Amino acid sequence: MLNISGLENGVVLDHIPAGMSMELYKYLNLDKFDCQVAIIKNAASKKMGKKDIIKISGELDKTNFDAIGFLGKDITVNIISNGRVVEKRSLNLPKTLTNIIKCKNPRCITSVEQELKHVFFLADPEEAVYRCRYCEEKYTK
């Protein structure tokens, strides 16, 4: 059993689908954080069988929660203060995503105007379909 000490202050991202933690790490730009970050892969989970967990010793910019909801709506966000969970958040699919994913349509205006923000809107909440605000092309991973 691998032990990672509890957080005094920070954020725990729990119920990440197994194998997705590095993707989340990338989207949240955690490589640019100064604080300690622990990634736990394939932790045992009653609900999911296996899951990933990310512990961040520091504050997470709230705008980045968008990315979390997009990557997996079952991921939970636990805010830790003085060693205790003070807030548990469930995430919904965000209505818009700004500069989190990029449009891949070569005919889209974003393909030639580099300074434009890449904005996607939630076109179909049931199927989690996002479309580019400019060309309406569906985002595919």
Partner 1 sequence: MLRHLLNPLDFSVAELDKLMDLAVDIENNPDKYAHACDRKTLATCFYEPSTRTRLSFEGAMYHLGGHVLGFSSADSSSAAKGESVADTIRIISCYADICAMRHPKEGAPLVASLHSGIPVINAGDGGHQHPTQTLTDLLTIRSLKGSLNNITIGLCGDLKFGRTVHSLIEALSRYEGIRFILVSPPELRVPEYVLELLNRKHLYYREVQNLEEAMPELDILYMTRVQRERFFNEDDYIRMKDFYILSKQKMELAKKDMLVLHPLPRVNEISVEVDDDPRACYFKQAQYGMYIRMALILTLLGLEVQ
Enumerate binding residues for partner 1 (CB under 8 A).
105-113, 115-116, 123-124, 129, 131-138
CB of 104 to partner 1, least distance (A): 12
Measured from the CB atom, is 86 or 109 closer to partner 1?
A: 109
Measured from the CB atom, is 73 or 118 closer to partner 1?
A: 118
Q: Helix/strand/coil (H, E, C) string of 31-84?
A: HHCCCCEEEEEEEEECCCEEEEEEEECCCCCHHHHHHHHHHCCCCEEEEEECCE
Measured from the CB atom, is 73 or 138 closer to partner 1?
A: 138
Measured from the CB atom, is 34 or 113 closer to partner 1?
A: 113
**8 Å CB contact between 98 and 136:** no
CB of 4 to partner 1, least distance (A): 44
Place of tokens 């830790």: 80
Measured from the CB atom, is 31 or 126 closer to partner 1?
A: 126
Comparing CA positions, the residue from 109, 33, 97 lying closest to residue 66 is 97
Identify the bridge partners of residue 79 per DSSP, sorted by sequence position: 11, 87
CB of 1 to partner 1, least distance (A): 47
- Alpha carbons 99 and 14: distance in angstroms, whole number: 24
CB of 117 to partner 1, least distance (A): 10
Task: Please state the separation of Cα 17 from the chain's center in Å.
Answer: 11
CB of 139 to partner 1, least distance (A): 12
